[in-house]
Amino acid sequence: MSVNIAAIQSAVQEAGAFVRPLFQELGKVIVGQTYLTERLVMGLLANGHVLLEGVPGLAKTLAVKTLAQCLQVKFSRLQFTPDMLPADVIGTQIYNPHTGTFSTRKGPIFAHLVLADEINRAPAKVQSALLEAMQERQVTIGDQSFRLEEPFLVLATQNPIEQEGTYPLPEAQVDRFMMKLRIGYPSRAEERQILDLMARTSGLPQVRPVVEPEQILRAREVLNDIYVDDKVKDYIVDVVCATRNPEEYKIPVREYIQLGASPRATISLTLAAKAHAFLRGRGYVTPQDVKTVGMDVLRHRVMITYEAEAEEKTPETIIQKIFDELPVP
């Protein structure tokens, strides 16, 4: 097995040669926010959509735009509003009176990186228009289905402060996001750096493209080969099952959980852990990889009860309790 892991390790380091230049370019524009930029790249590698939550002004949109500029891919930005229609996202059929036929006009969803800005401002019918694209990587307009080009990634932002004109995302859509990131404020030193870098009316930092789409697709193939030991696989399954039946693992949080994580969480947790190992140049996954990405993968998949809310408990505190008490292999 050691020979195989050595070969995988070599393939990971070769396929991941673009990682350092990519983070260097992102660092020209995004100060601090290592957690944010790293998770965005992990989503890209693991072929998983990412939901970013944070108050306005924390560079969520800027980070996604900068990532697209570094990748030499087609980028599309959708500003979600309450009066939006599904056709504004996926496209529509237009009737030509001269020929008596319909032609298809593709919407902004036909891009490699799609930024869904303030996704919780659009009504349910617009949210549902994204479901097929996010899961099946295809879009149906009229009676025709169109495949979306790879790599395809939806990166959505939302404001955690409930305001007028926001809609809660449907559970089916939330579950399609591999990770949900909570973005916090920068430190004082980082804030000072941001001032030096950004407090000007023009001449803002520019990035150059350093990664081609083929390199991302190649990295995804290598990611599939990253070794996950049976004990680590069992640990991943135990973590997810503990969100559904914590009493089986003697973790006293049963009365706080309304709904546990779905099997999609198991898949996402494995892929995210592999992506975390890939970024560190490793050809194998450790339990620490699972613990590091676990909160991002699970926080939006565990629904809490009224009792939990009354006791001011959050999905994060319950998930942390599970990670703290579950034996690590």
Predicted local confidence at residue 163, as pLDDT? 59
Closest residue by Cα to residue 43 from 17, 71, 24: 71
pLDDT of residue 323: 92
- What letter does residue 15 receive in the DSSP assignment? H
Question: Which regions of the chain are under pLDDT 50?
Answer: 1, 3
Q: Output the pLDDT for position 264.
A: 92
| Confidence (pLDDT) at 237 | 95
Residues 80, 162: Cα–Cα separation, whole Å: 15
Domains of the chain: 19-197 (3.40.50.300), 226-325 (1.10.8.80)
DSSP sequence for 97-155: TTTTEEEEEE-TTSSSEEEEETGGGS-HHHHHHHHHHHHHSEEEETTEEEEPPSS-EEE
pLDDT at 162: 60
| pLDDT of res. 287 | 94
Per residue in 36-94, pLDDT (tens digit) is 899 999 999 999 999 998 887 788 888 888 898 898 888 899 888 888 888 899 888 88
Predicted confidence at residue 1, as pLDDT, reads 46
Q: What's the whole-model pTM score?
A: 0.89
Q: How far apart are CA 235 and CA 244, in angstroms?
A: 15
Burial call 29-61: b when 16+ CB within 10 Å, e when fewer: bbbbbeebbbbbbbbbbbbbbbbbbbeeebbbb
Contact 87, 48 (CB under 8 A): no
